Chains A and B, each alone.
Chain A
Amino acid sequence: MGLLGDPTRRAIFELLARRPASVQELADQLPISRPAVSQHLRVLKDGGLVVSRAEGTRRIYQLNPDGVGALRTWLDGVWGDALAGFHKAAEAAASEFDRDSGVNQEEGS
């Protein structure tokens, strides 16, 4: 499993891609506890994808701003999903095509 192989970790990464957030803000948007969010954030930080900064009493997490690495990692997942989506759409298009030509086959048999 890669850093973003875990679906929850990927969800956290994508939330942070939209905007920086605290642990609580992330936990509010996910069906997991604060400690679980913290644990995933630690893995993402250790992997260099996420950095944090103190803001008053809170700690704010964001994607690593030196983050072409982070960007590429995200795009890795994007293309995996996108090609799966393309495959699905193409199969739907193919079965429409079959159905259309199926009319002729039935007439011919």
Chain B
Amino acid sequence: MTATEPIPPIAGTVTVGVPVERAFGLFTGEFTAWWPNRYHIGQADVAEVILEPHEGGRWYERGVDGSECDWGRVLVWGPPHRLVFTWQINGSWQFDPDPEHASEIEVLFAEEGPGQTTVAVEHRHFDRLIGGQSVYEAIRGGGGWPLLLQGYAKTVANAQ
């Protein structure tokens, strides 16, 4: 076995017909409006997904029963062009408070023209989530990696 290779980041872009300030506001301030609500960690159905608009802010879900479940933290709050926040859910689907174990999501908002904004998302540092050999083996043994990425690319392409 050679040195552990980093797990490749997930990257996706989408171009939307709103000015950059609006795109940033929609992405950060109205998470509940666009985040697919079937994606969540808590036991209860999701009522709200909230990203607190400042450095160190929490990213979390609030269930219909009022329970809260943390997903991550805001690292860089740079409206209207840049946002970096963490995803700290481990392989057992629990929030891991150790920042050393946090994967990172960077979102860049670029105005392409009047009322046109490209939003580029990169989710990276998966190796920090648990780290180690088992991760490497999971990828090596998985076999379907390029296919999965193709599937993702197709999903994003269809979304545009």
Interface residues of A (CB under 8 A from B): 1-5, 14, 17-18, 46-49, 63-73, 75-91, 93-94, 97
Contacts and interface: CB of A to CB of B under 8 A. Distances in A.
Secondary structure call for the B interface: mixed
A88 B123 CA distance: 21
B150 A2 contact: yes
Contacts, number: 151
Given A69-B138, A80-B156, A94-B115, A3 B147 contact: yes
Interface string B103-121: 0000000000001000101
Secondary structure call for the A interface: helix
A93 B117 CA distance: 13
A82 B12 CA distance: 10
Contacts of A48: 138, 141-143
Given A2-B147, A49-B142, A84-B159, A93 B126 contact: no
A105 to B, nearest CB: 15
Given A3-B144, A86-B34, A89-B33, A65 B18 contact: no
Contacts of B152: 2, 76-77, 79-80
Contact of A81 (B18, B129, B131, B155): B155
A47 B151 CA distance: 15
